Structure 1
Amino acid sequence: MKKDYASNIWKYYLFIFFGRVELTVSIFVLFFLGNNLNMIQVMILETIFTIALFLFEIPSGAFADKVGRKASLALSNISLCVAFVLFGLGNSFFIFIIAQIFCALFWALKSGADSAFIYDSLKEIKRENEYARIFGIGSSIWAFTLAGLSIISTTLSVYLGYRMLFFISAGFFFVGFLIALTFKEPPIHKHLQESNYFKHIKKAIKFTYTHKIIRNLIIYYGLFAALGHLTYFLIQPYYTFTNLSINVLGIAMTCLFLFEGLGFLFAQNIIKRFTEKKLLFLLMFIGSISFIAIFLFSPFIAIIFISLMSFSCGVRDIFIEKEIHIHTESHHRATVISVQSISKSIMYAIFAPLIGLFTDIYSPAAAFLMMGIGMFIFLIYITFLFKFYKKSPTL
């Protein structure tokens, strides 16, 4: 029986790899711009994605807690498969909206279910202390896969066109779905007593709000992750505006995902070297300075700061989720992680249209400057927030 749960680990690595062969990684925004959308419209699509994610997020977490993480992960890949087929077939704003809703369903079904699935599998074989390392490896596989595909993506787009890359990617996502069907569902250590999802959701939200450490970690994550995610959408027009070779964009995208993967991979070692407060400050400081530096320096030098920012985001994700798992019981774990993701969605829905408008009026570089200043102001706020915490084992 324990071997079955242990096999979940390497199967999960395969699931991550095949489920993230996204050949459109470097041309996703360029595809929209090529269909006569401007950056405001692109960010409106992202806002619709965020609203859909907001609506799906907590119910999907409750679904994972009540029905099973295996089912949630399998359905997530089917949703992404449908989304990419729609992108490949579509050429209108309306079709892109439908595809974005399916993308949101993918992220919602995956969010929380993946980390809870790994944590509970490890708990069954008495290896939960390895969670940060193992989940970090899985996350790094995801990032390294996208890093490797970044240059391939730009090259293939020249020969195959944007649409064909969506169809090929959908095929890989379906393979990920088949792998998920072979998972062994780990038991949830406290079965839900609620007769419906809403009671479970209500209790999980109340727990999140009343638990000071969890609440503030989620607020911190929300803004940091929202601005970090916007980087992906700004890099593509940023390098397009420079009139440099599309291969330079491929290199920048490779560094974006490569260094995020390195952040995932080395997160556990870094977490051990810093106190929680210092690490929270350092990661956001690196992020804010990197955004400002992208505006100040040339596109080639900017790649260095894109890499630094991505590395800090990788460490951040592993650290925040590890802390949430430590402070959350198994039966609420996926739902609380979903609340964490919702905090990002709310921030993202606010900032995405503003950044899109700022990009159209000024430039992508100016948008990076705006993001850096905003993050630095928030850094000052959280410094005072954590300063007045009573000393505890976590913060």
Structure 2
Amino acid sequence: MDATRKQLESNIWKYLLYEISHRRHFIPILAIYFLTLPNTTAHQIGIYAGLGYLASFLFEIPSGYIADRIGHKKTLVIEKILMTLGLVAFVLANSLPLFIVGSVLMSVGFSFHSGTGSAFMHNTLTALRREKEYTKVMSKLLANVSIVSAILVALLPFTTTISIKIPLIINIVFDIMGLFVVLSLTPPPQQFAAAPEKFSNLIKTIHRAAKPGFYMIAIFIGILGGYMFGVGPFRVPYLEVLGLPIIYVGLVMSLSRVFWFLIGHNAHVLEEKIGVKRLLQWDVIIFPSLFLLTTLFTNPYIVGTIFALITGYFWGRRQIIINHFFASCITDARYKATMVSVANQIQTIFQFVVAFSIGYVMNVSYRLGFMVTAGSLFVVLLNFVPALKRIK
């Protein structure tokens, strides 16, 4: 085994460490930390979060294109620097402006990660002639990351008793370690580099790199992801209304990582036995049904477990879909990050639509809101059933 192959194989365990450093374990307490600062209000949470969402939206596709142009490793280095600076801004913040800076930097960092990591690892496995193992390798890798994340999230209530800044400082340490890990990655051979061309040709590049089935699947999973993240902010308030003590919110999040771990470790079996076509067809039933179940129980622990299952299943099976994108939906392998970013951008659009539209219903009743979520998601996804039958 030559040195280059050993270096490429080391990318797998290094990427595991990188993904651990990428997780933002402090997110559940970020708004609480913000409100401890002088002269801050709950309304301002929407300001810094909204500007962060806007930055993510604007940079989503360009960041993927840049990654394919300058190299995925370089882009991951940029991502780690942005994430670290964003965290430093949060820790140093004493008012809204620095929180806005932190939110924007973190959101842009997420954009540079989106699609880039998957493309880098797919190219690595392709160079090792193990591309058929992509789902198995990546699903297990990210499943293991989810368990580490579950432990760190569960520890949040204990670390915040020392100082509410401690979780952020821990993440800064992780980010610095992650930066050194990324710098040690070995880029796959040059054949995966995108050809030099003007940035103005981005739309033409996307059109050229997309196979006919790309947009159908991208819109389908975009709608599904849009619903997942669009109603995400309403889950904790709903659980609190049902009577879940706030201290157990972290445990619900940790449980979702446990489900992710279990499903992720068996994702390759789902891919082999069921296939992406049947998996997406099942999604038409599974996700609306699970959302509906959250409205049929009043026990917050049962509802919290269902929410955890929804999240764990969504992320646990995700690499099956990403692998299908790379293998069957993209004509030009040099633009993998770009095309995944396109799919993520579609998801972001639907996320905005869902959050604003169903948000009005949530103001009336959380239970009614999740009923509308289940019903509307089923009706929308049902329209894709004929198209899903054409997947090979």
The normalised TM-score by structure 2 is 0.88
Letter in 2 for 1:291: F
Q: Is the Cα–Cα contact under 8 Å of residues 263 and 310 in structure 1 kept in the other structure? A: no
- Report how far residue 91 of structure 1 moved: 5.3
- Report how far residue 67 of structure 1 moved: 1.2
SS at match of 2:194: coil
Instruction: String of CA shifts for 1:347-389, please: whole Å, max 9, x gaps.
Output: 1222234455544x235444333322221122211124334x3
Pair 1:18–1:136, CA change in 2 (3 A):
same
Letter in 2 for 1:145: V
Residue matched to 2:152:
149
Q: Does 1:130 align with 2:133?
A: yes
SS at match of 2:213: helix
Q: Is the Cα–Cα contact under 8 Å of residues 51 and 345 in structure 1 kept in the other structure? A: no
Q: How does 1:1-395 map to 2 (within 5 A)?
A: 1-20=4-23, 22-31=24-33, 36-37=41-42, 42=45, 45-90=48-93, 92-157=95-160, 159-189=161-191, 191-199=193-201, 201-207=202-208, 211-230=211-230, 232-297=232-297, 298-327=299-328, 328=330, 329-359=332-362, 361-387=363-389, 389=390, 394-395=391-392
Letter in 1 for 2:69: K
The normalised TM-score by structure 1 is 0.88
Pair 1:198–1:72, CA change in 2 (3 A):
same
- Indicate the RMSD between aligned Cα atoms, in angstroms: 2.5
Distance 1:84 1:368 in 2: 33
Distance 1:87 1:106 in 2: 14
Unaligned 5+ segments in structure 2 are none
Distance 2:5 2:270 in 1: 30
Distance 1:291 1:267 in 2: 22
Pair 1:259–1:188, CA change in 2 (3 A):
farther
SS at match of 2:244: coil
Q: Is the Cα–Cα contact under 8 Å of residues 69 and 195 in structure 2 kept in the other structure? A: no
- Report how far residue 109 of structure 1 moved: 0.9
Distance 1:155 1:366 in 2: 35
Instruction: String of CA shifts for 1:5-46, please: whole Å, max 9, x gaps.
Output: 1111111111112332x34143245445665315xx656654
Of 350-359 and 109-118, the range deviating more from structure 2: 350-359
SS at match of 2:295: helix
Count of residues in correspondence between the two structures: 383
Q: Is the Cα–Cα contact under 8 Å of residues 261 and 314 in structure 1 kept in the other structure? A: no
- Report how far residue 161 of structure 1 moved: 3.9
Q: Is the Cα–Cα contact under 8 Å of residues 26 and 154 in structure 1 kept in the other structure? A: no
Letter in 1 for 2:170: I
Q: Is the Cα–Cα contact under 8 Å of residues 226 and 347 in structure 2 kept in the other structure? A: yes
Pair 1:62–1:319, CA change in 2 (3 A):
same
Unaligned 5+ segments in structure 1 are none
Q: Is the Cα–Cα contact under 8 Å of residues 44 and 352 in structure 1 kept in the other structure? A: no
SS at match of 1:295: coil
Pair 1:196–1:218, CA change in 2 (3 A):
same
Distance 2:77 2:49 in 1: 24
- Report how far residue 279 of structure 1 moved: 0.9
Pair 1:125–1:109, CA change in 2 (3 A):
same
SS at match of 2:291: helix
